[in-house]
Amino acid sequence: MALLTSSTPKSRLSLSISRELLERLEPYKHEINFSAEAEQLFTRLLEQRENRDWAKRNADALVEHGRAIAANGLAGSEFERI
């Protein structure tokens, strides 16, 4: 995933959060860049979902690769070390 920079075009997003949480955040609103923090959180969530989906799409190949390693070793017998 490409790194986002300050020059990356931005769009607005409306969020609803609990009033209690919002009240607890109030004293820190000048210390926390909520947009930047949310963007980092969404980036991590997206990466997790994309990684999970990649693993699902490639599950059969990963299992087969694991079987090949179990049967043949990582690099073949010519590279075995004591």
7 in any annotated domain: no
Q: Tens digits of per-residue pLDDT, 47-72?
A: 999 999 999 999 999 999 999 888 87
pLDDT at residue 3 greater than cutoff 70: no
Beta strands in the chain (DSSP E): none
Four-point Cα dihedral 5, 6, 11, 13, nearest 10: 90
pLDDT at residue 24, rounded to an integer: 97
Is 73 within 8 Å of 31 (Cβ atoms)?
no
Number of domains composing the chain: 1
56 in any annotated domain: yes
User: Domain limits at 54?
Assistant: 42-74
Provide the token pair at 21: 């949480």
52 in any annotated domain: yes
Provide the token pair at 75: 């690099």
Q: Tens digits of per-residue pLDDT, 20-55?
A: 999 999 999 999 999 999 999 999 999 999 999 999
Give the span between the Cα atoms of 23 and 26, in whole angstroms: 5
27 in any annotated domain: no
The residue with tokens 């963007």 is 39
Q: Could you tell me the pTM of the whole model?
A: 0.67
